[in-house]
């Protein structure tokens, strides 16, 4: 056992049904606690299957589990008076027993707080996603305008080059100007392409935010 695990509060869950499963899901992601084991006579119970998948020890013998382990807290998630009595009879002095009613209350409070936190994050992400979408549309419209200007500059530079060629030596200076206009048009189009790439990335980010919102609901 690592030093970090030794510093964590250890828990045990008695009951691998839906109640035990929800407690497992709620607490297993915490950095402050370590779920030492889960007990249920049915190894195929939903909570036991999930515990095994998460690398948490699963046991079928309640009395043996209590005799050989001393977690800081035991969550009784069966709601059975008989199971509650067995736990009390074999409870270590340093272990606190949390009854099924207390476990349910704790679960409901934590679930409610998590729901509120998710809703707050949902609202913030929704606002951010909407702003990104609006900014992306604004940038897209601006890029369209710039592209139109760049196209007009290219046409103008071509016409100017033709006229300069017709003028011969007298149009040489004008030809230089026409070339500069063409270069400006090409640079403008290059800038449009780069900005459009960034804008597309923002659009993709907005899509990912929408996916996160779906997961929070």
Which sequence spans correspond to the domains of the chain? 3-98, 115-216
- The rounded distance, in Å, linking the Cα atoms of 92 and 89 is 9
Q: For residue range 100-119, what is the model confidence (pLDDT) as tens digits?
A: 787 777 777 777 777 777 77
Secondary structure (3-state) at 39: strand
Name the pTM for this structure: 0.54
Average pLDDT across the chain, whole number = 80
- Cβ contact 57:24 at 8 Å: no
Strand partners, 14: 39, 76
Residue 150 clears pLDDT 50, i.e. is over it: yes
pLDDT > 70 fraction of the chain, expressed in percent and rounded: 88
pLDDT for 3? 44
Nearest to 58 by CA among 7, 117, 12, 5: 12
pLDDT for 157? 74
Residue 201 clears pLDDT 90, i.e. is over it: no
Q: Looking at residues 91-96, what average pLDDT do you find? A: 91
Q: For residue range 37-49, what is the model confidence (pLDDT) as tens digits?
A: 999 999 999 999 9
Residue 14, token pair as written in the block: 């008695």
Residue 68 clears pLDDT 70, i.e. is over it: yes
Using alpha carbons, list the distances in angstroms from residue 149 to 77, 144, 145. 70, 9, 6
How is domain 3-98 classified at the architecture level of CATH?
3-Layer(aba) Sandwich (3.40)
Residue 191 clears pLDDT 90, i.e. is over it: no
Q: For residue range 7-56, what is the model confidence (pLDDT) as tens digits?
A: 789 999 999 998 889 889 888 878 888 999 999 999 999 999 999 999 99
pLDDT for 174? 64
- Containing 138, the helix (H) or strand (E) segment is helix 100-167
Q: How confident is the model at residue 123 (pLDDT cuts 50, 70, 90)?
A: confident
- Is domain 115-216 in CATH 1.10.287.950, yes or no? yes
Q: Looking at residues 56-76, what average pLDDT do you find? A: 94
Q: Which residue has the higher pLDDT, 69 or 178?
A: 69
């Amino acid at each position: 056992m690592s030093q970090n695990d030794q510093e964590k509060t250890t828990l045990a869950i008695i009951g691998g049904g839906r109640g035990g499963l929800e407690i497992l899901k709620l607490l297993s992601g915490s950095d402050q606690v370590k779920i030492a084991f889960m007990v249920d006579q049915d190894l195929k119970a939903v909570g036991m299957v999930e515990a095994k998948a998460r690398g948490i020890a699963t046991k079928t013998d309640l009395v043996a589990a209590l005799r050989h382990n001393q977690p800081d807290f035991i969550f009784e998630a069966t709601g059975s008076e008989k199971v509650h009595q067995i736990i009390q009879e074999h409870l270590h002095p340093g272990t606190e027993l949390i009854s099924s009613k207390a476990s349910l209350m704790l679960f409901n409070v934590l679930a409610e707080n998590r729901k509120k936190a998710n809703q707050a994050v949902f609202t913030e992400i929704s606002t951010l996603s909407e702003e990104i979408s609006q900014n992306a549309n604004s940038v897209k419209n601006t890029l369209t305008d710039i592209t139109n200007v760049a196209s007009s500059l290219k046409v103008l530079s071509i016409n100017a080059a033709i006229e300069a060629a017709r003028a011969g030596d007298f149009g040489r200076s004008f030809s230089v100007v026409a070339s500069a206009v063409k270069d400006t048009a090409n640079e403008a189009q290059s800038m449009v392409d780069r900005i459009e790439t960034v804008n597309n990335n923002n659009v993709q980010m907005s899509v990912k935010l929408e996916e996160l919102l779906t997961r929070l609901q």
